[in-house]
Amino acid sequence: MEDKKMVGDLPEGLYVTDLMGLHTANPVSGDFSLGAAGILIQKGQLTHPVRGLVIAGNMIEMLQNIDAVGTEVRFFGSRGAPGLRVASLSVAGS
């Protein structure tokens, strides 16, 4: 699915641009709690940048909740991945 369509289909959500502390995820249980920053999605549009968020969940459950995979691959050094849309995760912050 095109990345624009993944966002355009959502009435509200969060487009995550940065995750911090990925190394702190529990490798046995899959539980994680990560600092995050991103852009709010409202009525299918990217609206306001946000930071100081915490995203928490379980890696297995998160993978089961992927409902769309983007067609554009982004590279971070020598590793790349497409955008993923996850139907549900716990997000906290102001």
Q: What gap in Å lies between CA 19 and CA 55, rounded to an integer?
A: 9
Residue 84, domain extent: 3-92
Q: Which residue has the higher pLDDT, 22 or 52?
A: 52
The secondary structure of residue 77, as a DSSP letter, is T
Instruction: Please tell me the distance from the alpha carbon of residue 85 to that of residue 94, in angstroms, as a whole number.
Output: 22
Residue length, the chain?
94
Residue 82: is its pLDDT beyond 90?
yes
Structural element, H or E, at residue 40: strand 31-42
How many structural domains compose the chain? 1
pLDDT in tens, 3-19: 889 999 899 999 999 99
Does pTM top 0.85 for this prediction?
A: yes
- 76: which 2 tokens? 């971070």
pLDDT at 15: 95
CA distance 90 to 53: 10
Instruction: Assess contact for 23 and 34: CB atoms under 8 A.
Output: no
pLDDT digits (tens, 9 = 90+) for 39-74: 999 999 999 999 999 999 999 999 999 999 999 999
